[in-house]
Amino acid sequence: MQEALIAAARHWSADGAPAQPRGWLLQTATRRMVDQWRSDTARREREIRVASEPETGTAAEVDDTLTVLFLCCHPVLSPTSAIALTLRAVGGLTTAEIARAFLVPESTMAQRISRAKQRVAGERFSMPSPEERPDRRRSVLRVLYLMFNEGYVGSTGDDLTRVDLSDEAIRLARHVHAADDDPEVVGLLALMLLTDARRPARTDESGTPVTLADQDRSLWDHARIAEGTALLDGAIGRGAVGEYQLQAAIAAIHDSATTADATDWPQILALYELLERMTASPVVALNRAVAAAMVHGPAAGLAVLDGVDGTLPRVDQLKAHLHELAGAHDLALTHYRRAAGRATNVAERRYLDAQVARLAGGSA
């Protein structure tokens, strides 16, 4: 599967190969899709009265919900505002639930949502035209991706009062997918499933992150992995290869390795190289450095990091780790210290302080 993706992506270029989005299936919403939608509606009473009262009905309701989703993810909004508005208007969460999910007071979130509503109130309440759809779809996918992010990284605690944003993002991505099987829509849903599958093993009892290599893979959700992999298999080669498919393919390689040692790092490295060409993201470069180190050794990883902005999160931690593997303990200690000073969450700080103590103790 991943070989096919690499082959497909090699033909991709930044300005060539325009996306060939499949037409939206809004006008031909099937009974099955409506039924699926209804069952979800039963689970949580949705509120889609954001810009207009929706017609009651079946297919029309589905259409309206997608229209509202596109409106909530309008590019005039900042991602944060778009996420909040989407959760309120499409996800049907209360403002209090959304506020708790983002750890801000309800009044703050109420203002944010209210301001976002005002901003989109003047926008047309209809699905974007076929010409606009690829761009607008990208905005929708970006918002759902960031929503998933929030839940994924914020879910280390087991605070039962917090709504699970990852689950919400997956649910919404399923609905977009039901109406649009554009390969990137499929890619994003697959990415979410393949990533979320590792959640049970991602942190220990104290909430400390467990590295991929140390995770108990028997805890992974293998049904989710199978679903994500099947989705990805179906998407590849059907159209333009995009960043979500590539990220999903990388997640699939990790998920398919029965042990950490069995990970196909050369393929992951090749995929990160493609992803970096496509996105020019420094965070992707950081990931490529990890893969390069796994394939060619710590010096190769450090060489990649030479070209990466050193103030980015996790650059120091990775340098420290690679220097230690290369036997340069003093450099490792320096970078672990710097990383600890720049930590932005408590679990991370604890982990990095422990590394500093371990190395400092060992050399004293």
Partner 1 sequence: MARYLLIVDFQSGPDESPMSEWTDDEVAAHLNYYGRLNAELIANGELVGGEVLTGPDLAKVVRSDGVTPVITDGPFQEFKEWIAGYQIVDVESEERALEIAGLVSAVPGRGGVPTQQPIQVRRIMDDGPSGVEEMNAYLETASNPR
CA dihedral 314, 315, 321, 327 (to 10 degrees): -160
Residue selected from 24, 70, 148, 220 as contacting partner 1 according to rule CB under 8 A: 148
108 is an interface residue for partner 1 by CB under 8 A: yes
266 is an interface residue for partner 1 by CB under 8 A: no
Separation of alpha carbons 269 and 284, rounded Å: 11
Residues 272-311 that bind partner 1 (CB under 8 A): 281, 283-284, 286-287, 290-291, 293-294
Half-sphere exposure (Cβ direction) of 329: Cα atoms closer than 13 Å: 10
In the block, residue with structure tokens 């710097």:
338
Give me the DSSP letters along 232-283: HHHHTTSS---HHHHHHHHHHHHHH-SSGGG--HHHHHHHHHHHHHHH--HH
214 is an interface residue for partner 1 by CB under 8 A: yes
Stretch touching partner 1 by CB under 8 A, among 51-59, 64-72, 108-116, 234-242: 108-116
CB of 214 to partner 1, least distance (A): 6
Stretch touching partner 1 by CB under 8 A, among 1-9, 53-61, 132-140, 144-152: 144-152
CB of 128 to partner 1, least distance (A): 25
Separation in Å, CA 298 to CA 268, 324, 359: 16, 9, 18
Q: Which is nearer to partner 1, 215 or 245 (CB)?
A: 215
The C-alpha angle with vertex 43 and arms to 40 and 46, in degrees rounded to 5, equals 75
Q: Which is nearer to partner 1, 2 or 81 (CB)?
A: 81
Q: Which is nearer to partner 1, 229 or 355 (CB)?
A: 355
Residue selected from 30, 41, 52, 78 as contacting partner 1 according to rule CB under 8 A: 78
Nearest CA to 290 among 312, 273, 277?
273
113 is an interface residue for partner 1 by CB under 8 A: yes
Whether the CB-CB separation of 138 and 127 falls below 8 Å is answered with no
Q: Which residues bind partner 1 (CB under 8 A)?
A: 78-81, 84, 102-105, 107-115, 145, 148-149, 152-157, 195, 202, 209-215, 247, 254, 260, 281, 283-284, 286-287, 290-291, 293-294, 313-314, 317-318, 321, 324-325, 343-349
